[in-house]
Structures are given as C-alpha cells and as structure tokens.
A = this chain, B = another copy of it.
C-alpha cells in the first residue's frame, strides 16, 4: 500500500510544522489531515494511528541522518576524526532540521519514543556503537568503560545541547560549537594515557 507521493510530501511537511511546535497530544489528527489536504480516515488507513503516523516519518528522517553519517565516514581512518565528524553531523542535522529534532527530543513523549523499537533507531545505535567499540579495541578509547556509557555520554550532550539551544532562542549556530563541545567529549572518552 503506497500512498500518493504528493500526499506523502504534504503530510511530512505538515507533521514537521505542527508537531515541532505543539505537544504530541495537543495536536489533533484532524488538523494534520486538513492542513495536508487528506481525509483523516485516509491517514488511519495508511498509518494505523497517530503514533504510527509520526513514527513513520520520524523513521524516514532518522534514516536520512544515519545514511548521511555512513556516507561521510567512508574513506575515513582516523577514529577521532570519525567521532568528531559524527558529532558534527548530528549537531548540523539537528540544527538544519530542527523541526525534526524538536519532535524527537521535545514533543514526542520520551517514554513512547524510547519504546519505539524502530529499525532506524536500531541502525543508528548500531552504527555508533560499532565505531565506539572499534575505538576501544584499538586502545584509543577508554576500554574500562561500558561502550553504552560512552554512547550515552555523547548523545546526552547532543540532546541536552539541542534542547537548550532551542530554549535559549536558537541564536548562534549549534554546529559551530562542535569544536568546544567535541573537545570535552573526547577528553572524557579517550584512554587516559593518550589524553595529550
């Protein structure tokens, strides 16, 4: 069952517009339908329910970030550079697609979002875990720390920084802070002896 591509585009645009500004439950599916020019019943046919609708699109947008990271990592050997690139790509993507980021970080009920075992979330998780694990195997990243903790360390910083960036008015570029921020992360995860 494929939906008319035009509808799909309009739906996506509407979801970004509406869910980025209002709490998940404050959004009426009828408004989405009206703005997108579809009947709400059609949405139900295609996506099952409100959660299904949003997650379907979130999955797509998350997939694009993962794809972009994979693409950029090609041909890179230096692990630190890889990690810095990953860090920058995230800040950059969330900044450029801040409506998407607002949805996953701010308006989706975290509980629901965490519970969503989507393919794309897992793919992103695996991708990052692989890089970090590789770094630990190479002895570059602190092998005494559970790899998942390394990941939480990075992602927690990214997520909190994005939220506060929005909170503080989206003034200067978020990605421009990559340097400062990544230095902090790197010192935290590098094998202590290699810190300099």
Chain A residues engaging chain B, CB cutoff 8 angstroms: 22-25, 102, 105-107, 109-112, 114, 144-146, 148-149, 152-153, 155-161, 163-164, 167-168, 177, 180-181, 183-185, 187-189, 192, 195
Contact = CB atoms under 8 A, between A and B. Distances in A.
Contacts of A106: 109-111, 114
Contacts of A168: 148
Contacts of A109: 23-25, 106-107, 109
Majority secondary structure, A binding face: helix
Q: Which of A152, A181, A189 has the most CB of B within 10 A?
A: A152
Given A106-B110, A109-B23, A110-B106, A161 B152 contact: yes
